Structure 1
Amino acid sequence: MLTALTIKNYALIDHLQVNFNQGLTIITGETGAGKSILLGGLSLILGKRADLSALKNTEVKCVIEAVFDVSNYKLESLFKKFDFDYEALTIIRREILPSGKSRAFVNDSPVNLNGLQALGAQLIDIHSQHETMQLMDDAYQFQVIDALANNQKDLQNYKAALKTYKILQKEYDELLKFQAEAIKEHDYNSYLLKELEEAKLIDGELQELEETYETLNNVEDIKEELSAVNQLLSEEQIGVMSALLVAKNGLQKISKFSGKYEDVFNRVASSSIEINDIFTEIESLQEDLDLDPEKLTLVSNKLELINTLLKKHLAGDVAELISIKNELSEKVAVTERLDDTISDKLQEVEVSQKAIDALAHTIHTKRMKSIPGLTKELEALLQQLGMPNARFNITLNPSVAFRNNGKDDLSFLFSANKGGAFNELKKAASGGELSRIMLAIKSILSNYVQLPSIMFDEIDSGVSGEISNKMGEIMRDMSKSMQVFTITHIPQIAAKGNTHYKVYKEDVGEVTQTNLRLLNHDERIVEIAQMLGGIEISTSAMAHAKQLLN
C-alpha cells in the first residue's frame, strides 16, 4: 500500500508531503483544483515518461517520492528479476532535471523505466473512465476467471511445462532439418570416408615411404657406390684398413717413449675400430639391397595415393588426413544414428505434450466451474449499480493450439438491455456502463487475490444518488482487504471514506499553487455540504452532510 507521497516542483505543486492509511481514502476538490496534477505525479512513480514541461520551476529539479509497504505483496521474485534491493518499506523516487533528463530509483538504487513500470503495475492501479479498455482485453478476462478459479499455481506449472515443451519441440524440428541436410551429404561423406579408410593411413609414414621409394628406385647406383667404398676400405695392398693396421703397429712400438706418441697411437686405434665397424655396416647394407620391382610399384602407388588425398582434402600431412577421416566418420555415424535420436526426441516431445494437456485440462475444468459464479456475482452487483437487465454470456471452448495461459478460447459477451442480443463489451456497453462493470469486477477480484492499491479517478461520473451510494459501499467493502483511493464529485461516495483529503488551489504572492489537505470531521461536513449545495452552504445541506457521514 501507498504510505507516503512527496512531490516537489511539479506542475502547480511547489512542495507537497502527505501520508496515507489503509482503507478508503477520498480525494475531492473543485474542478481545476489540481486533482489531475496529483495523478500525473503519481503516474511518474509508476514509470510514465517525463518531460521538462512537468517542472514548476525550470531551474530546479522535480522530485517525486513514494513509500510503499510491500510486505504482503509477495514481490521478492520481481525484485530479484530486476535486481532491485528488496525492502518491506520500498521507496520509489523520480527526478526530472532542468536539463530534461529523467532518473528513477528504487530504494536508492538507479533503475530503468521498464523495471519501474513492472514494479509500479504491482503497486497501484489508476483507473478512470478512459482506462476501461482493459476490460476488452482477452488476457485480462482470463485473469479475472483464473483468480476466481484459483488457477495461479496450475498456471505457473503450465507455463513452466510449456517452456520445456517449446524447447523440446524446437530441438526436434532442428533434428529434422539437420537430417534433411545430412542425408544430402551422407553419400558423398561415405564415399570420402571409404576412400580414406582404404588408404590405411599411418601418421608419419609419408617420410618413410619416400625414403623407401628413393632406395628402391636407385638400388643399382647404391650397390655400386657401397661396393667401391668397401673395396677402398678392405683392399689388401692400399686399403684403408690395411694402412691403419700398419700405422697402429708402428705407433704401438714408440708409444712407450712418450705420452704424446701414446695419444696418437690411441687415436689411430680408435679410428681402426670405427673403420672396421663402417666396413661391417656397409657389408650389411649390401646384403639388404635387392632389386624389388614389385615393392617399388607398391610404394610408388601408395605415395601417389597419399599425395592425391592431400591435394583433394587440402591437407598438410597424413596426420591431418587422419583427422579429416575421423570427422567424416563422426558425420556419417551421426547421420546413421539420427533416426534413433529423432525417435527419442519425438518421444520426449509427446511426453511433454501429454503433461501440458493434463495441466490445460485441469485449468479448463476449474475455469468452467468458476464461470457461473462469476456471472451471478457480476449481474447481482450491476443490478445494485443501476443496471438491472445486465447479463453476461461467458463461454469457454478448448482450443487446438497451446496458448500462454492454457488451451482455451474465451468469449466474454454482454447485454445491457432486457431482450437485447449479446455482443462484445466494447459494442454492447457505454462508457459509464463499462466503468460500473470494471468496478464490479475489481470488487469481486478483491475477495480472491491481493490487488494493488487502486485509485478510481471520477469513475462515478454521470451516476445518480442511490447508485452512487451503492458505488461508495462497494468501494468501502473493497477497502477492507486493500487500499482504495477515489477521486469523486459525489457526496454520497465522499462520505464513505475512512480519510478525506481536499485538493485546492491558493495564490502565494504572484504564484498559484496546488495543495492537498487532510480534513478533520468538521471540515468533512463542510466539504460534503458544499458538494451537496454549492459554496453557499444551507442548513439542510449541513444536516444532510452530517447524516451521510453518520
Structure 2
Amino acid sequence: MLQKLSISNYALISSLSVDFDNGFSVITGETGAGKSILLGALGFLLGNRADTNILFDDTKKCIVEGVFILHDDRWKSFFEENDIDYDEECIIRREINPQKKSRAFINDTPVSLQILKELGARLVDIHSQHDSLLLCNPDFQLALLDDAADNNLLLTQYKKAYHDYVSAKNELDKLRRKTTDNIDENDYLKFQLDEILKAELLDGEYDELTQRIEFLENQEEIIRLLKESTNILDNEDNSLLDGINTLLYNVEKLRRYIPELGSMAERLNSVKIELKDILSDLNNFQDDSQDISSLEILQERFDMIQRLMMKHHLNDYSLLLQLREDIRRKVDEFSNIEDIVADKEKEVRELEKDLLVRASELRMRRKKAKDDFEKDVTTVIRQLAMPYGLFEIKLDETEELTSNGIDVVTFMFSANKGHSTEIMAKAASGGELSRLMLAIKSIAARNNYIPTLIFDEIDTGVSGEVASKLGDIMKVMGDTLQLVSITHLPQIASKAENHFFVYKTVVDEKTHSNIKVLTHEERVVEIAKMLSNAEVTEEAMKAAEVLLSSL
C-alpha cells in the first residue's frame, strides 16, 4: 500500500506531504484545485513520462517520493532479479532537474525507467475517467478474463513460447525464400565451379609457369651465355682454371724462398675449388635445358589461367584460388539447405505442438472462469440501478495461434429486460461503462493482485442512489485493498474512511496547490458544499450529517 507521498516543485505544488491509510479514501476539491496534478505526480513517480513544463520553479529540481509497504514475500523475486535491496518499506524517488533530465531510485538504488514502470504497475492501478472506454477493447477484455482466471503466470510462459515459435517460423520462411530465390544463382555457381575445377589449379603454379615460359622464350641466349661461361672456366686454350693451376704451381715453388706465401697458396686452392663448383653448376644448367617444343604447351596452360582471372576480374592468382574455395563453400551450403530446412520445419512443428498444448490450457481456464465472471459482474451491476442488466462473455476460437492463445473475447451487455446482449461498445452508454468498470474492478479486488487502486472520477455520469451504491461497493473493496477515489459526488465521499481535500492558495502572487486531511467537522462542511453546489445551507449541513452517520 501507499503509505506516504511527498512532492516538491511539481506543477502548482511547491511542497506537500500526505500520509495515506489502508481502506477506502476519497479526494475532493473544486475543479482546477489540483486533483489531477496530484495524480500526475503519482503517475510520474511510477514511471510515466514527465511533461516538459513540470517544474513549479524552473531553477530547482522536482522531487516526488513515495513510501510503499510491501506486506508479503511475493515482491522479493522482483528485487532480487533487478539487484535492488529488499525491504518491507519500499521507498521510490524520482527527480527531474531544470535541464529536464530525470533519475529514478528504488530504495536508493538507481533504476531505469523500464524497471520503475514495471514495479509501479504492480504497486498501483490508476484508473482515469476515460479508461472505461477500454472495456470496448478486445485485448483489454481478454486481459480482464485472464486476471479472473489467474492466468498471469501461464500467459507469461505462453508468450515466451509464442515468441520462440514466431522466430523459428520467420527463420524457416527466410530459408525457404533463400532456396527459391537462389536456384538460378546456384546453377551459375555450379557452372563456375566446374570450369575452375577442370583447370586443376595448383598452388604456386602461376609463378612457376611464368618462370618456365620466360626461360624457354630466351633459351638460345641462355645456352649461349652458359657455354661462354663454361669456356671461360675450362677450355683447351688458356682457360681460367688452367691459369689458376699455373698460378698455384708457381706459388708453391716460391714458398721455398718466401715462406710468407704459404697462406696465398691456401687461398688460391680455395678459389680453384670454388671455380670447379661453379663450372659443375653451369654444366648442369646446360644439361637441364628443355625442349623448345614444350613452350607451346606451357603457354596454352598459362593463357587458360589468364582467361579465368580476367573473367572473374582478378589480378592475382591467389585470389583465383580463393574464389574457387568461396564458390565451393556456397555450393556446399546450398546443397545442405534442404537438410537445414527439414531440421527447421521439425523445430517449428515441435514448437507449434507445445504452443497448442499451452493455448488449450489457457482456453480451458478461460472457459472455466467465464461463467463465474459473468455471474459476478451481472450481480454487481444489478445493484447499480441496472436491475435487468446482463453481462456475458463471448469466447470464440481463432483459426491460428496468436500472441494470446487461440481465443477472441467479446464482452456482451444488455441493460434492458427482454433484450438479448449485444457487443458492449454498441450497447453501453458512458455511464453504464463506468458502472461496468467499477463492477469488474470490485471483483478483481477480491484477488488482491495490486495493493493500491485509484479511481479518477470513475463515477462520471451517475448520481443519486446509483452514486450511493457505487460508494457502498468502493467501501467493500477497501476491505481487501487500499482504494483512493477522486470524486465530485457526496454520496461516495461520505462512504470513505479518510477524506482528503485539495485546495489552492495564492502566496506572493503565485498559485499553490495543497492537500489536507479533513476532520469530521470539515467533512460535514465539504459534503454540504458538494450537496448544495458550494453554498452551505442548513439543510445541506443536516443532509451531510445524515450521509456521514451511515459510515
Helix, strand or coil at the partner of 1:450: coil
Task: Provide the residue aligned with 1:482 in structure 2.
Answer: 481
Go from structure 1 to structure 2 and tell me whether the alpha carbon gap of 1:70 and 1:95 turns closer, same or farther (over 3 Å shift): farther
Determine whether 1:547 maps to 2:546.
no
Helix, strand or coil at the partner of 1:384: coil
TM-score, normalized by length of structure 1?
0.88
Is there any run of 5+ residues in structure 1 with no aligned partner, and where?
A: none
Shift of 1:76: 7.2
Determine whether 1:403 maps to 2:405.
no
For residues 35 and 116 of structure 2, what CA distance do their matches in structure 1 show? Answer: 23
Shift of 1:493: 3.0
Shift of 1:502: 2.8
Determine whether 1:448 maps to 2:447.
yes
Shift of 1:536: 3.5
Identity %: 37
After superposing the two structures, state which structure 1 stretch, 59-68 or 429-438, moved more.
Answer: 59-68
Shift of 1:113: 6.5
Shift of 1:158: 1.2
Task: Provide the residue aligned with 1:187 in structure 2.
Answer: 187
Helix, strand or coil at the partner of 1:360: helix
Go from structure 1 to structure 2 and tell me whether the alpha carbon gap of 1:275 and 1:440 turns closer, same or farther (over 3 Å shift): same
8 Å Cα contact 2:158-2:355 kept in structure 1: yes
For residues 59 and 276 of structure 1, what CA distance do their matches in structure 2 show? Answer: 100
Shift of 1:128: 4.0
After superposing the two structures, state which structure 1 stretch, 270-279 or 72-81, moved more.
Answer: 72-81
Shift of 1:317: 3.2
Shift of 1:25: 1.3
For residues 302 and 509 of structure 2, what CA distance do their matches in structure 1 show? Answer: 104
Determine whether 1:285 maps to 2:285.
yes
Alpha-carbon deviations, 1:422-479, whole Å to 9, x = none? 3332321122111110001011112235125222233334545543343223212222
Task: Provide the residue aligned with 2:271 in structure 1.
Answer: 271
Shift of 1:521: 4.7
* Code of the aligned partner of 1:163: H
Shift of 1:529: 6.0
Shift of 1:517: 2.1
* Code of the aligned partner of 1:35: K
For residues 506 and 211 of structure 1, what CA distance do their matches in structure 2 show? Answer: 101
8 Å Cα contact 1:504-1:516 kept in structure 2: yes
After superposing the two structures, state which structure 1 stretch, 30-39 or 338-347, moved more.
Answer: 30-39
Question: 1:211-250 counterparts in 2 under 5 A?
Answer: 211-250=211-250
Question: 1:77-92 counterparts in 2 under 5 A?
Answer: 89-92=90-93
Alpha-carbon deviations, 1:251-301, whole Å to 9, x = none? 1111244454223222221121122222223333333335252x3333222
For residues 63 and 127 of structure 2, what CA distance do their matches in structure 1 show? Answer: 24
Go from structure 1 to structure 2 and tell me whether the alpha carbon gap of 1:49 and 1:425 turns closer, same or farther (over 3 Å shift): farther
Helix, strand or coil at the partner of 1:386: coil
Helix, strand or coil at the partner of 2:68: strand
For residues 234 and 510 of structure 2, what CA distance do their matches in structure 1 show? Answer: 129
Determine whether 1:165 maps to 2:162.
no
Shift of 1:142: 0.7
For residues 509 and 241 of structure 1, what CA distance do their matches in structure 2 show? Answer: 122
8 Å Cα contact 1:392-1:413 kept in structure 2: yes
Task: Provide the residue aligned with 1:471 in structure 2.
Answer: 470
* Code of the aligned partner of 1:28: T
Task: Provide the residue aligned with 1:348 in structure 2.
Answer: 347
For residues 68 and 507 of structure 1, what CA distance do their matches in structure 2 show? Answer: 32
For residues 332 and 184 of structure 2, what CA distance do their matches in structure 1 show? Answer: 14
Question: 1:39-438 counterparts in 2 under 5 A?
Answer: 39-46=39-46, 47-52=48-53, 63-69=63-69, 89-95=90-96, 97=98, 101=100, 103-107=102-106, 120-258=120-258, 260-291=260-291, 293=293, 295-438=294-437
For residues 448 and 402 of structure 2, what CA distance do their matches in structure 1 show? Answer: 23
8 Å Cα contact 2:45-2:92 kept in structure 1: no
8 Å Cα contact 2:495-2:548 kept in structure 1: no
Go from structure 1 to structure 2 and tell me whether the alpha carbon gap of 1:507 and 1:244 turns closer, same or farther (over 3 Å shift): closer
After superposing the two structures, state which structure 1 stretch, 283-292 or 188-197, moved more.
Answer: 283-292
8 Å Cα contact 1:219-1:291 kept in structure 2: no
For residues 296 and 3 of structure 2, what CA distance do their matches in structure 1 show? Answer: 98
Shift of 1:70: 5.2
Shift of 1:358: 1.6
Alpha-carbon deviations, 1:187-246, whole Å to 9, x = none? 221122122222222222222222222333444444444334333333234122222211
Shift of 1:127: 2.7
Shift of 1:327: 0.6
Shift of 1:14: 4.1
8 Å Cα contact 2:141-2:410 kept in structure 1: no
Shift of 1:138: 1.5
Shift of 1:416: 1.2
Go from structure 1 to structure 2 and tell me whether the alpha carbon gap of 1:398 and 1:545 turns closer, same or farther (over 3 Å shift): closer
* Code of the aligned partner of 2:501: K
Alpha-carbon deviations, 1:340-369, whole Å to 9, x = none? 111111111111111112211111121112
Helix, strand or coil at the partner of 1:418: coil
For residues 286 and 20 of structure 2, what CA distance do their matches in structure 1 show? Answer: 112
* Code of the aligned partner of 1:442: K
For residues 12 and 344 of structure 2, what CA distance do their matches in structure 1 show? Answer: 65
Shift of 1:160: 1.0
Helix, strand or coil at the partner of 1:129: coil
Shift of 1:140: 1.2
Shift of 1:12: 5.1
Shift of 1:145: 0.7
For residues 395 and 66 of structure 2, what CA distance do their matches in structure 1 show? Answer: 41
Helix, strand or coil at the partner of 2:261: helix
Helix, strand or coil at the partner of 1:459: coil
For residues 506 and 403 of structure 2, what CA distance do their matches in structure 1 show? Answer: 54
Alpha-carbon deviations, 1:519-539, whole Å to 9, x = none? 345554565566567623468
Go from structure 1 to structure 2 and tell me whether the alpha carbon gap of 1:216 and 1:526 turns closer, same or farther (over 3 Å shift): closer
TM-score, normalized by length of structure 2?
0.87
Go from structure 1 to structure 2 and tell me whether the alpha carbon gap of 1:384 and 1:189 turns closer, same or farther (over 3 Å shift): same
Shift of 1:143: 0.9
For residues 337 and 544 of structure 2, what CA distance do their matches in structure 1 show? Answer: 87
* Code of the aligned partner of 2:549: Q
For residues 8 and 328 of structure 2, what CA distance do their matches in structure 1 show? Answer: 73
8 Å Cα contact 1:73-1:450 kept in structure 2: no
Question: 1:492-531 counterparts in 2 under 5 A?
Answer: 492-505=491-504, 513-521=512-520, 523-524=522-523, 527-528=526-527
After superposing the two structures, state which structure 1 stretch, 434-443 or 125-134, moved more.
Answer: 125-134
Go from structure 1 to structure 2 and tell me whether the alpha carbon gap of 1:55 and 1:225 turns closer, same or farther (over 3 Å shift): closer
Shift of 1:381: 0.7
For residues 509 and 272 of structure 1, what CA distance do their matches in structure 2 show? Answer: 118
